[in-house]
Chain A
Amino acid sequence: MTLQREKRQYSWGMVVDVDKCTGCQACVLACQAENNVPLNLQDRFERARAMSWIRVERYWEGEFPDIKARFIPIMCQHCENAPCEPVCPVFATYHNNEGLNVQVYNRCVGTRYCANGCPYIVRFFNYWEPVWPEAFRNHLNPDVTVRSRGIMEKCSFCIQRIRRGVRNAERENRNVVDGEIQTACTQACPTDALVFGNFNDEDSKVSKMRKDDRHYTLLPHLATDPNVVYLAKIDPDRSAGASHG
């Protein structure tokens, strides 16, 4: 039985400081490599079937010439009240007791209902069997399942890394230390815009960052209660505040 957020040992989450994001796409690339995400060839984009577990959305603000590019990285928000979870008929996606919205590939039958339920559009369906060029075969991450066609997939907060970190800590009879576990995207982020950690650890970096005045979540009116918290862009021209969502 899943515990409430406060009673969990770990409650994984991420804080995204939008102010620091430069839109460099390093996180996207790192994620693609870490999680065996299939290559997005031209036809995948043309048919609007491209997959990227994390994406950097770009918005234009203002009118030319007074125009600014805004970036916001979006990945699975690992909502506490995730709309995608209860609709799955086979429990292929559910909430585990570390606060993660997990996807169980073996159970998935590919109804794609979860994807319809997700307001952030971060769930992906394998329309085809994934193929990699011969040269790429040996680059696949052995810790991560290669998904077959016909199932859903999405950001897992690099669950393979979390599992290894927790296992190591348990072996040494201690709690996971803050910063010990890094997801591929946080590791790759050159500006530290993405920070991963345990929300239940009062001293963790994410817990401290979350107390910032600039914090907000995406689509708050849907009351999904995400585990990804954003910190708003600091705009010298305007007072800080939630500009997205």
Chain B
Amino acid sequence: MFLNLPYVTVVLLTCLGIAAILFKRNLLKILLGINILESAVNLLIIAIGYREGGVAPIYTLAPSTNMVLPTPQALVLTSIVIGVATSALLLSFSIIIYRKYGTVNVNLIRELRE
């Protein structure tokens, strides 16, 4: 019914996220790219667990046989928490980097090379 539109979206979002990671030069922008990539994976997992015409796996009414799968939701919950933890840590690193280097441009943060 919905065709495979969510999967197509996942592919597009993945490409956008990778593009942000590879082409952008700003640490915070790279972080946004990582966020988009993570959201794409989350969407993929949730879309895998969807059943046509299913209802949420919560027994609010009489027991229904057609429920969407609960495991992907549990996985995505974990993954979202990991995402926010990652963002927080990466942002605090960026702040310290800015304090030390005066920039968040990755082309200029290269004291460690060779």
A in complex with B: no
- Listed in ascending order, the chain B residues whose CB lies under 8 Å from chain A are none
